[in-house]
Structure 1
Amino acid sequence: MLTFLGIIMILTGIIIFIIKPIFTTSKVLKWFTTKRNFQMIGLGLILSVVSGIFFYAEPGTAYAVQYPWGSQKAVVNQGINTKMWGRLIPIQFELPIKYVIPDKEGELGEQSKYANVDVAKYWAFSDAVKARIATSVVISINTVDEDQFLSVADRNKTERNLIRSRIIPNIDQSIKNTCKLMDAQDYISGQASDFDRYFKDQLENGMYVLEEYIANENRETIGDSTTVRTIVNNESKQKRFRIKYENGQPVREKGNSLKAYGLTVVQAVVTEIDWESTFDKRLQLQKEEVAQTQLEKQQAEREFYRAQKETARGEAEKAAERARLEKEQIQKTIEAETKAKVAEFNLIEERKNYEVAQFKAKTQKTMADAQSYENAKLVNAGLTPQERAEWEYKTSVNIARELKELKLPEIYIQDGNKQGNEGNLLQSLIGADLAKKIMSNKSK
């Protein structure tokens, strides 16, 4: 800009010198005196020289400065630097490159002025389904190795040429190879992350060498163990592509890598895919079928869990009834065992009582035998007159006491034929009762 302004000022001063003698009456030309003309021409020379000697390096941009005498240097710091009328090749530190799907009006939307934006292209997957793929790629240049940066700048001349001739072809080739490695159905079924991984790996390390192979489609078995149905596609063979490997590493195309230019892939992702209309219709039908299948599956699961619930309820009721019966059985068993124990204890008690009664009877018999033996000894030994008199006294006293306590019947009926025997009957009753009490006293 300063160079252009300086050149304009120099040309203006020279023109004024030429036309001033012709238009002597012009007030404007009279203002431009000879001194002022020389000043303007000198200022123009200074501006043109200054702009050729110095330049301002913008932030985030590296410059390759090529001098007229053949040398060159790299400038990566912002500020004022010398160029000495040399050529500048500015390249951004990071180069954003985007493929964008236009909207219905054909607009690409608001984009950064520093990004290189193009319309997304259509690419074919391995199952021949086409889609417009929008990508966002960020490439970083090498500013550490000055020689490599100058080599890249010298071979590509401009930043735009570097993007168009080196980077974009690599991006297109990476997308093409990655699309060959999978079906569109595989992409929407969960292999989108694999797509991004293959895409970025090829940009960084070079393009894969792909090889064709024929994939035999296996028969799909549908149904349970009792009912089996198979679906066989009419096209039993389909050409596929896969990555060629040697010694466990993928084979890559030689000389087709951004690393050779000191470029690093900072970002490489697929931002959007616009499928062709036929695949969109098929995809919509598939979504509806999946939704219907999921609904039927949920209904089947609901019925299954309902049956499980009823089974569990029946098992719970059976368990409760079993517990109740077991409880009753335990109670009856305990009662029976208790009765058996009580009967056993009663038997033991009766046995003990019997043994005690036998022992008491034997004791009484022994004592009675001893007393009888003693009485017999006394009788055999004979009683003295004094002992006999004492014995007869005690006996008469006891008889008198017994007669006093004797209770005879208040009414006595006797046959008339036996009146002469009244005295004998009364005596018999008295004697019988008296004898009973005397025996009772003796037993005591």
Structure 2
Amino acid sequence: MLTFIGILLIIIGIISIILKPFLKDKKTFDWFTFQRSLQIIAAGIILSFLTGIFFYAEPGTAYAVQYPWGGQKAVFQQGIKTKMWGRLIPIQFEIPIKYVIPNVEGKLGDQSQYAYVDKARQWEFNDAVKGEIATSIVISIDITDEKQFLSVADRNKTEKNLIRSRIIPNIDQSIKNTCKLMAAQDYISGQAADFDRYFQDQLENGMYVLEEYSDNEKPEIIGDSTVVRTVPNKESRQKRFRIKFEDGEPVRVQGNSLKSYGLTVVQAVVTEIDWEETFDNRLQLQKEEVAQTQLEKQQAEREFYRAQKEKAKGEAEKAAERARLEKAQIQQTIAAETEAKVAEFNLIKEKKQYEVEQFKAKSKKLAADAQAYENQKLVSAGLTPQEKAEWEYKTAVGVAQQIKDLKLPSTYIEGGKSGNDNNLLQSLIGADLAKKMMENKK
């Protein structure tokens, strides 16, 4: 801009000097004196001189400065720099390139002076399905190697030429090769990430060498043993390609990569694909089929869980009944054990009571024996026959009364044999009479 203004001032100054002698009578040109014309020419020369020496380097842009005498240099920092009437080749640090699908009005959307935007092209996948592929790509230049940058700038002259002659052909070739590696059905079935990976790898490191192959797929047989018809796989008739490998590494086309120009792929993704109408119709049918399948699957799952619920309910009822029966069984068992323990306790109690009554009977018998002995001593001491008979009568009555009042156990054990209370009484009486007979003998 300053150069244009400087040249314009020089032209005005020269014209004013030439026309001044012919327009002496015109008052309009009185201001254009010879001295002022020279000043205008000098100002134009100064402006042209300054713009030829200096230039302003914008941020984010690298400059290759080529001097008139054959030298050149690279400028990577912003600010006012010298160019000494040299030629400038500006190239952005990062070059955005976008392929977009036009809208309904045929427009490509928002444009930018710093981005290259073009209409998406139509490409064919290996199953013959076509689609317009929209991509977003960012290419970065190498600002650490000044020599390589100057070589790229010198060979391509301008940034626009670098994009059109080097970058775009690589992008197109990468998309074409990647489309050969997969079918459109594969892309929409989950291989979109693989497409982006193949695309970026080829763009940066070089194109894959592809080799054709066949799957030798057998036709599908539909029907039973009586009616059989084969359905050939139409896709198997399409040409299929795969990456050629040697020593575990993909074989690439030599000398055809952005890396050889010092360019790095920062981003390379597919943002959208506009499939042809026939494929869209097929996708719609597939979506409807998938939706129907999902619905049937949900219904089947609902029935399954309902059956599981009924089964769980039955198991719960069985568990409750089992718990009830086990509880009743435990109650009966505890009752039986309790009854047995009570019976055992009662038996022990009866045995203890028998022993107590037995000891009581022995105690009373000893008391009666002692009383009889005492009476005998009294008789021996000099009782009259009448007193002796009376005493013996009273003693016998007392003993009988004690024996009558004696409560013996209904059952007793003697010498390992059991008996009733009558036997016990007879035994006790017999023992007493035997003792008296012994004493009378004496």
TM-score range, shorter chain: 0.7 to 0.9
In 2: Cα distance, 1:127 partner to 1:245 partner: 23
User: How far is the alpha carbon of 1:201 from its aligned partner?
Assistant: 1.6
In 2: Cα distance, 1:192 partner to 1:115 partner: 25
Give, as a single letter, the amino acid of the residue that structure 2 aligns with 1:291: A
In 2: Cα distance, 1:174 partner to 1:442 partner: 132
Larger Cα-atom Rg: 1
In 2: Cα distance, 1:393 partner to 1:341 partner: 56
Partner of 2:109: 109
Deviates most, 46-55 or 211-220: 211-220
In 2: Cα distance, 1:192 partner to 1:65 partner: 43
Alignment pair present for 1:439 and 2:400 = yes
Give, as a single letter, the amino acid of the residue that structure 2 aligns with 1:321: E
Q: State percent identity of aligned pairs.
A: 69
User: How far is the alpha carbon of 1:391 from its aligned partner?
Assistant: 2.9
User: How far is the alpha carbon of 1:20 from its aligned partner?
Assistant: 3.3
Partner of 2:271: 271
Partner of 1:415: none
Deviations 1:84-135 (A, max 9, x none): 2211111111111111111011001112221011001111112111111111
Q: Is the 8 A contact 1:217 1:236 kept in 2?
A: no
Partner of 2:159: 159
Give, as a single letter, the amino acid of the residue that structure 2 aligns with 1:199: F
In 2: Cα distance, 1:347 partner to 1:135 partner: 103
User: How far is the alpha carbon of 1:347 from its aligned partner?
Assistant: 3.5
Deviates most, 348-357 or 63-72: 348-357
User: How far is the alpha carbon of 1:44 from its aligned partner?
Assistant: 2.0
Give, as a single letter, the amino acid of the residue that structure 2 aligns with 1:272: E
Counterpart mapping for 1:126-165 below 5 A: 126-165=126-165
Instruction: Classify 1:87/1:438 alpha carbon distance in 2 versus 1 (closer, same or farther; 3 Å).
Output: closer
In 1: Cα distance, 2:399 partner to 2:141 partner: 147
Instruction: Classify 1:386/1:152 alpha carbon distance in 2 versus 1 (closer, same or farther; 3 Å).
Output: same
Partner of 1:48: 48
Counterpart mapping for 1:42-191 below 5 A: 42-191=42-191
User: How far is the alpha carbon of 1:151 from its aligned partner?
Assistant: 0.5
Give, as a single letter, the amino acid of the residue that structure 1 aligns with 2:41: I
Instruction: Classify 1:88/1:382 alpha carbon distance in 2 versus 1 (closer, same or farther; 3 Å).
Output: closer
In 2: Cα distance, 1:343 partner to 1:219 partner: 88
Q: Is the 8 A contact 1:63 1:76 kept in 2?
A: yes
Give, as a single letter, the amino acid of the residue that structure 2 aligns with 1:312: A
Deviations 1:384-403 (A, max 9, x none): 5436454345468x59xxxx
Instruction: Classify 1:322/1:230 alpha carbon distance in 2 versus 1 (closer, same or farther; 3 Å).
Output: farther
Contiguous gaps of at least 5 residues in structure 1: 223-228, 400-434
In 1: Cα distance, 2:220 partner to 2:8 partner: 81
Instruction: Classify 1:132/1:166 alpha carbon distance in 2 versus 1 (closer, same or farther; 3 Å).
Output: same
Alignment pair present for 1:386 and 2:347 = no
Partner of 2:317: 317
Q: Is the 8 A contact 2:205 2:259 kept in 1?
A: yes
In 2: Cα distance, 1:442 partner to 1:250 partner: 127
In 2: Cα distance, 1:234 partner to 1:136 partner: 35
In 1: Cα distance, 2:203 partner to 2:125 partner: 19
User: How far is the alpha carbon of 1:70 from its aligned partner?
Assistant: 0.7
Partner of 1:334: 334
User: How far is the alpha carbon of 1:330 from its aligned partner?
Assistant: 1.2
- Give the match's secondary structure for 2:215: strand
Give the TM-score normalised by structure 1.
0.80
Q: Is the 8 A contact 1:196 1:270 kept in 2?
A: yes
Q: Is the 8 A contact 1:61 1:93 kept in 2?
A: yes
Instruction: Classify 1:221/1:365 alpha carbon distance in 2 versus 1 (closer, same or farther; 3 Å).
Output: farther
Q: Is the 8 A contact 2:368 2:399 kept in 1?
A: no
User: How far is the alpha carbon of 1:352 from its aligned partner?
Assistant: 4.9
- Give the match's secondary structure for 1:237: helix
- Matched residues, number: 399
Q: Is the 8 A contact 2:220 2:233 kept in 1?
A: no
Give, as a single letter, the amino acid of the residue that structure 2 aligns with 1:386: L
